[in-house]
Structure 1
Amino acid sequence: MSASQRILKERRHYNKWVANQTLEDYALRFTAVGGRHMSISKVGMTALGGASFLALEGLAAAVTLSYGFTNTLMAMLAVCVVLFITGFPIAYYCAKHGLDIDLLTRGAGFGYLGSTITSLIYASFTFIFFAIEAAILASALHVLLGIPLFIGYVICAVAVIPIVTHGITAISKFQVGTQFIWLLLQCSALAVVLIYEYDNLAGWTEFVAPQAPEGSDFNLVLFGSAVSIFIALVAQIGEQADYLRFMPPKTVENRKRWWFWLVLSGPGWVWVGFIKMLLGSFLAYLAFTQLMPFEQATDPTYLYTQVFLTLTESPVISLILAAIMVILCQMKINVTNAYAGSIAWSNFFSRLTHSHPGRVVWLVFNVSIALLLMELGIYQALEAILGIFAILALGWLGSLSADLLINKPLGLSPKNIEFKRAHLYDINPVGIGSMLISTVLGLLAYLGLLGEVAKPLCHFVTLLACFICVPLIAWLTKGRYYIARESANLSRFMSDEKRIHPAAIATLTCGICENKFELEDMSYCPAY
Structure 2
Amino acid sequence: MTQTTTVSADPASAGAGSSSPASAVDHAAPVGAEDFSLRFAPRHYRRWTPAAVAASALGGIAYLADFSIGATIGVQHGTVNAIGGVLIAAVLIFISSFPLAYYAARFNIDLDLITRGSGFGYKGSIITNLIFVSFTFILFATEGAIMAQGLKVGLNIPLWIGYAVSSLMIIPLVIYGMKLLSKLHSWTNPLWLVMMFVPLIVLVIQEPGSVGTFLDYTGQDDKSVSFAAMMLAAGVCLSLTAQIAENIDYLRFMPPKTAANRKSWWAAVICGGPGWVVLGAIKQIIGIFLAVYMISVLGQETDIAIEPVNQFMSEYNQMMPGWLATTLAVILVVISQIKINTTNAYCGSLAWTNIYSRSFKKYPGRVWFVVFNVGISLALMEFNMFSVLSFVLSFYSNLAIAWIFTVAADIVVNKYLLGISPKVPEFRRGMLYDWNPVGLISVALSGGISVAMFFGAFGDGVAAFSPLFAALIAVVVTPVTAVVTKGRWYLRRSDDGIDLPMFDADGNPVDDRLTCALTGESCERPDMVASALPGPDGGTQYVSSLALTLDMSGEHVLPAEPPTE
> Shorter-chain TM-score: what band?
over 0.9
Q: CA deviation at 1:408?
A: 1.4
Aligned residues: 511
1:395 matched to which residue of 2?
Answer: 402
Q: Does 1:7 align with 2:48?
A: no
2:496 matched to which residue of 1?
Answer: 488
Q: Does 1:229 align with 2:243?
A: no
Report the residue type matching 1:474 in the other structure.
Answer: A
Report the residue type matching 2:196 in the other structure.
Answer: Q
Q: Distance in 2 between matches of 1:480 and 1:318?
A: 62
Q: CA deviation at 1:200?
A: 1.8
> Which stretch shifts more, 189-198 or 131-140?
189-198
2:56 matched to which residue of 1?
Answer: 46
Q: What secondary structure sits across from 2:410 in the alignment? A: helix
Report the residue type matching 1:506 in the other structure.
Answer: D
Q: Distance in 2 between matches of 1:280 and 1:222?
A: 18
Cα 1:147/1:452, change in 2 over 3 Å: closer
1:70 matched to which residue of 2?
Answer: 80
Contact 1:487 1:523 in 2 (8 A): no
Q: CA deviation at 1:66?
A: 1.3
TM alignment of 1:427-438, pairs within 5 A: 427-438=435-446
1:310 matched to which residue of 2?
Answer: 318
Contact 1:109 1:432 in 2 (8 A): yes
Q: What secondary structure sits across from 1:51 in the alignment? A: coil
CA deviation vs aligned residue, 1:312-347 (integer Å, no higher than 9, x gap): 2x1121112112211111111101100110001001
Cα 1:303/1:37, change in 2 over 3 Å: same
- The alignment's TM-score, normalised by the length of structure 1, stands at 0.93
Q: Distance in 1 between matches of 2:241 and 2:501?
A: 43
CA deviation vs aligned residue, 1:75-103 (integer Å, no higher than 9, x gap): 00000000000011111101111111100
Counterpart of 1:18 (choices 30, 33, 41) is 30
CA deviation vs aligned residue, 1:367-399 (integer Å, no higher than 9, x gap): 111112222334544542222211111111110
Contact 1:454 1:461 in 2 (8 A): no
1:458 matched to which residue of 2?
Answer: 466
Counterpart of 1:57 (choices 50, 67, 85) is 67
Q: Distance in 1 between matches of 2:273 and 2:385?
A: 31
Q: What secondary structure sits across from 2:514 in the alignment? A: strand
Counterpart of 2:302 (choices 280, 285, 294) is 294
Report the residue type matching 2:50 in the other structure.
Answer: I
1:385 matched to which residue of 2?
Answer: 392
1:125 matched to which residue of 2?
Answer: 135
- The alignment's TM-score, normalised by the length of structure 2, stands at 0.87
1:345 matched to which residue of 2?
Answer: 352
TM alignment of 1:92-491, pairs within 5 A: 92-212=102-222, 216=224, 218-289=225-296, 290-312=298-320, 314-378=321-385, 380-381=387-388, 383-410=390-417, 411-491=419-499
Q: What secondary structure sits across from 1:517 in the alignment? A: strand
Q: Distance in 1 between matches of 2:306 and 2:386?
A: 16
Q: Distance in 2 between matches of 1:4 and 1:268?
A: 45
Superposition RMSD in Å: 2.1
> Which stretch shifts more, 267-276 or 385-394?
385-394
Contact 1:231 1:390 in 2 (8 A): yes
Cα 1:412/1:491, change in 2 over 3 Å: closer
Q: Does 1:85 align with 2:95?
A: yes
Contact 2:142 2:385 in 1 (8 A): no
Contact 1:80 1:270 in 2 (8 A): yes
Contact 2:50 2:254 in 1 (8 A): yes
Q: Distance in 2 between matches of 1:184 and 1:212?
A: 35
Contact 1:49 1:175 in 2 (8 A): yes
Contact 1:390 1:459 in 2 (8 A): yes
CA deviation vs aligned residue, 1:44-66 (integer Å, no higher than 9, x gap): 10000122111101111111111
Cα 1:17/1:452, change in 2 over 3 Å: closer
Report the residue type matching 2:351 in the other structure.
Answer: A
Taking only the aligned residue pairs, the percentage that are identical comes to 37
> Which stretch shifts more, 77-86 or 473-482?
473-482
Q: Distance in 1 between matches of 2:381 and 2:494?
A: 48
Contact 1:445 1:454 in 2 (8 A): yes
CA deviation vs aligned residue, 1:152-179 (integer Å, no higher than 9, x gap): 1111111111111001000111111111
Report the residue type matching 1:263 in the other structure.
Answer: I
Cα 1:5/1:223, change in 2 over 3 Å: same
Q: What secondary structure sits across from 2:90 in the alignment? A: helix
> Which stretch shifts more, 437-446 or 303-312?
437-446
2:542 matched to which residue of 1?
Answer: none
Q: Does 1:514 align with 2:520?
A: yes
CA deviation vs aligned residue, 1:395-439 (integer Å, no higher than 9, x gap): 111100111121111212111111111100111111111111111
Report the residue type matching 1:406 in the other structure.
Answer: V
Cα 1:384/1:451, change in 2 over 3 Å: closer
Report the residue type matching 1:100 in the other structure.
Answer: D
